[in-house]
Chain A
Amino acid sequence: MTYFMMQFLNGLQIGSIYALIALGYTMVYGIIKLINFAHGEIIMTAAYFIYFFMTKWQLSFLLSTVLATLLSVVIGVLIERIAYRRLRNASRLSALITAIAISLFLQTLYMILFTPDPRAFPMTATRFPVLKLGKIIFSSWTLITIVTAVIVMILLQLFVSRHKAGKAMLVVSEDLKGSYLMGIKVNRIVAMTFAIGSALAGIAAALYIVSYPQITPYMGSLPGIKAFIAAVLGGIGLIPGAMLGGFLLGLVETMTKAYMPSQLTQLSEGVVFIILILVLLLKPAGLLGKSESEKV
């Protein structure tokens, strides 16, 4: 039971990171129906920013994270402005291919700039005591990660349910033409969506490298793709879906790793893809997705 609880907490920890990233995928998809495959690279660039702020400028982890998150917002908004906006009315496939191109471009750019050699995140800066709850032992960062993610998600939920711009975001995602009729300035709302998604990715990057302290130009792809699966699992385009999907995926992944016979652990990365295939086969709209019918 102790082992199970420890693994459960680990699952929630990685799950909350997936959830934060998945929100970026799902909000962008909701609003312009684009799977933004460059989203994982926002995590990677944010990780490099944090690394350089901490090692070159000797800034604290917290301050580095704040600055990196702001820079992620700038990069996310620029990507939309430069690469995606002019494709808004193009076929979905063109936009998708562009997203993949941006992803490869950023990976390659960072490889050229900073070499493919992994850099080690300065762990000493984030060393906190280990926590104990009865027999359950866990890292402070497990708690910090989960709490941070939950707070961010509550803030996001409040924003979309209370703030006018947040509601406008839901409106654009539900009915683009209808949003024109309300006089909603769609480009502004799209830019805002990219800004929020990228900020969440920046925060996720900080929480991720504390536990997986290797920074490489490719580090964004795996958490990126898993978060994408989380978004699909919960129901792509749905904010609560991304949260649920993220936590579930983190739990399933961690539990499989924890209880799988040791000679099979190599296969554990594949589990999330099996989940993707199952969702697409059994419930393509995702756990929270449903098709709404018109009322008379």
Chain B
Amino acid sequence: MSTLFAIRDLHIFYGSIHAVKGINLEIKEEGELVSLIGANGAGKTTIMHCISGLLRPRQGQILFKEYDLLKVKPENILETGLAQVPEGRRIFTRLTVEDNLEMGAYTRHKKSEIKADMEKIFQRFPRLAERRRQPAGTLSGGEQQMLAIARAMMSRPKLLLMDEPSMGLAPLLVREVFDLIQEMRSEGTTILLVEQNARMALSIADRAYVLETGRIVHEGVASEMLHDERIREAYLGS
């Protein structure tokens, strides 16, 4: 089977600082949930910015389906089928919940289908449905995270990139977000989950990569990594 998404020998510099030092990462199958874990400052968000075209690497390739993503303008990346739930959610606070979802479907044109997808989302998230005409800025942190995920789903992506969806959320809400990710994955969405919360990420992922100061230091089947002594000590605190 051909590779859906691949990062090959990626090097990213901030001025003279070598932030990402030749990483390789692959998502081979559709429907796979791959996680990239690492501590603060390991380079996770740098890589994400590079995938979304906001940052140019010094060297390397990012391939998605038949596209060379480094040659695609940031504003055209969504149309290749790759959507993002960005770090810090980045919901549009002045727009209503409904309008945020509509913006998620900005590149789509069939109004009836968009409407139907939106209704599905409101069924899945009753709390968003209750607040559909409220400015998104009035939502709680957890609701905003749900909205950011729902908004990304509105483009019907082939691959969903999630950058630290658990960041800044209370433990109960983290649980809820991860349940949702698992649910989306069981519905067939391919997901690249970037996380600091290694235990949670490993518990739901198929495969995982561990990033440490710009290098991949471990990779493998997530359930095995969860029981790997070295990883337990370094990332799971036990």
Contact = CB atoms under 8 A, between A and B. Distances in A.
A196 to B, nearest CB: 18
Most buried by B among A179, A181, A292: A181
Given A181-B78, A295-B144, A171 B102 contact: no
Interface string B114-155: 000000000000000000000001011100100000010001
Given A296-B141, A296-B169, A181 B95 contact: no
A168 B106 contact: yes
Nearest 6 Cβ contacts at the A-B interface: A183-B78, A180-B74, A183-B107, A178-B90, A296-B141, A295-B141
Interface string B165-196: 00011100000000000000000000000000
Given A167-B99, A171-B95, A292-B137, A181 B90 contact: yes
Given A164-B102, A180-B53, A170 B92 contact: yes
Given A167-B99, A171-B103, A182-B106, A294 B78 contact: no
Given A183-B155, A184-B75, A295 B140 contact: yes
10 contacts: A164-B106, A167-B95, A167-B99, A174-B92, A178-B86, A178-B92, A179-B75, A185-B75, A294-B168, A296-B141
B191 to A, nearest CB: 16
A184 B76 CA distance: 8
Nearest to A174: B92
A183 B76 contact: yes
A177 interface: yes
Nearest to B139: A295
Main SS at interface, chain A: helix
Contacts of A170: 92, 94-95
Interface residues of B, number: 34
B3 interface: no
Could you tell me the dominant secondary structure of chain B's interface residues? Answer: loop
A93 B26 CA distance: 43
A67 interface: no
A186 interface: yes
Contacts of A171: 92, 95, 103
A117 interface: no
B200 to A, nearest CB: 18
Nearest to B152: A181
Interface string A259-283: 0000000000000000000000000
B95 A183 contact: no
Nearest to A165: B106
Given A168-B103, A183-B107, A174 B78 contact: no
A181 B141 contact: no
A180 B53 CA distance: 9
Contacts of B168: 294, 296
A296 B106 CA distance: 27
Contacts of B52: 180-181
A174 B151 CA distance: 16
A175 B104 CA distance: 14
Interface string A95-118: 000000000000000000000000
B79 A183 contact: yes
A129 B184 CA distance: 68
A100 to B, nearest CB: 30
Interface string A13-45: 000000000000000000000000000000000
A175 B94 CA distance: 11
B125 to A, nearest CB: 17
Interface string A156-192: 0000000010011011001101111111111000000
B84 interface: yes
B131 to A, nearest CB: 14
Contact of A180 (B75, B137, B155): B75
A78 to B, nearest CB: 22
B163 to A, nearest CB: 11
Nearest to B168: A296
Nearest to A167: B99
A181 B99 contact: no
A180 B102 CA distance: 15
A240 to B, nearest CB: 11
Interface string B61-88: 0000000000000111111000110101
B221 interface: no
B93 interface: yes
A177 B54 CA distance: 8
Interface in A43-81: none
A184 B108 CA distance: 11
A242 to B, nearest CB: 15
A181 B95 CA distance: 16
B94 A174 contact: yes
Contacts of B104: 182
Contacts of B86: 177-178, 181
B4 to A, nearest CB: 20
Given A167-B103, A174-B94, A183-B106, 7 more contacts: A168-B103, A174-B95, A179-B75, A180-B77, A181-B86, A183-B75, A183-B78
